[in-house]
Amino acid sequence: MMKKQINTSMVELIQGDITAQKVDAIVNAANSRLAGGGGVDGAIHRSGGPAIMEECRRLGGCPTGRAVITTGGTLPAPYVIHAVGPVYRNGDSGEPELLKKAYQCCLAIAEERGIKSMAVPSISTGAYGYPIRDAAQIALTTVIDHLKKESTIERVVFVLFSQHDFEVYRSLLEEIPYHSS
Ligand code: ADP
C-alpha cells in the first residue's frame, strides 16, 4: 500500500481485487461493445450480477477513449464506470492519447456524479497488450494532473492485480514530481 497526497485528495496504490473495494465507484476495463469478457471485466460482472449487463445492453456500447456509468449491482461499490482503453498495436496508432482520454472521461463522470472515492484498474495492460510501464505513467499523470485542479474527488485507489504491476506503479508514483498548491 502506498499513498500520496495531491492537494486535498489522496492517490493510493494497493495490490488486490477491485471487485472487493468499498468505494463510490469502481472502474472497469471494458470493451467497446460493453459485452463483458475476461480479466477485470469478467470479474466485475461475476461479482456484480446481471443488473450491470442489463444496463450495458441498454447503453449499447462506448467508443474507445470514453467511459459510461452503470449501477454496481451487488458489488460493494454502488457504481461501475466502464472505460474503454485502446488495444495496443505499436504505440503509434494514437494509443497514448486514447488511454489518457479513457481515464479523463472516468474522472469527468466521477466529478459530475459527486463520486468522492473511486478504484481504478490498470486499463489496457491485460488482454489489450499495453506495456505496463508506459500505461502506468499515463494513468498516474492523468489522475494527478486532474487532482491538481479543483476536484471534489477525495480518493483515487489504483488496484493492481499482480505484485509486479504494483511495483511498477509504486516506483513511478515515487518519482512523479507534483505541487501541492
Ligand atoms: P484490458 O482488456 O483493458 O487489457 P484486462 O482485464 O485484460 O483489460 O486487464 C487489465 C488489468 O486488470 C490487468 O493488469 C489485469 O491483471 C487486471 N485485473 C484482472 N482482474 C482484476 C481484478 N479482479 N481486480 C483488479 N485488476 C484485475
Say what the pLDDT of residue 181 is: 44
Grid cell, residue 169, equals: 506503479
Say what the pLDDT of residue 58 is: 98
- For cell 479513457, the residue is 102
Q: How far apart are the CA of 60 and the centre of ligand 1, in A?
A: 22
Successive 10-residue mean pLDDT values, the chain, 181 residues: 95 98 98 97 98 98 98 98 98 97 98 98 98 98 96 98 98 81 44
State the Cα–Cα distance between residues 58 and 26, nearest whole angstrom. 20
The closest residue, in CA terms, to atom 3 on ligand 1 is 124
Q: Is the CB of 161 under 6 A from ligand 1?
A: yes
Q: How far apart are the CA of 162 and the centre of ligand 1, in A?
A: 9
Q: What is the set of domains in the chain, with CATH numbers?
A: 2-175 (3.40.220.10)
Q: How far apart are the CA of 108 and the centre of ligand 1, in A?
A: 22
The closest residue, in CA terms, to atom 6 on ligand 1 is 39
Q: Which candidate, 97, 54, 61, places its Cα nearest to that of 82?
A: 61
Look up the pTM and report it. Answer: 0.97
Say what the pLDDT of residue 176 is: 85
* pLDDT tens digits for range 12-64: 999 999 999 999 999 999 999 999 999 999 999 999 999 999 999 999 999 99
DSSP H or E stretch at residue 13? strand 9-15
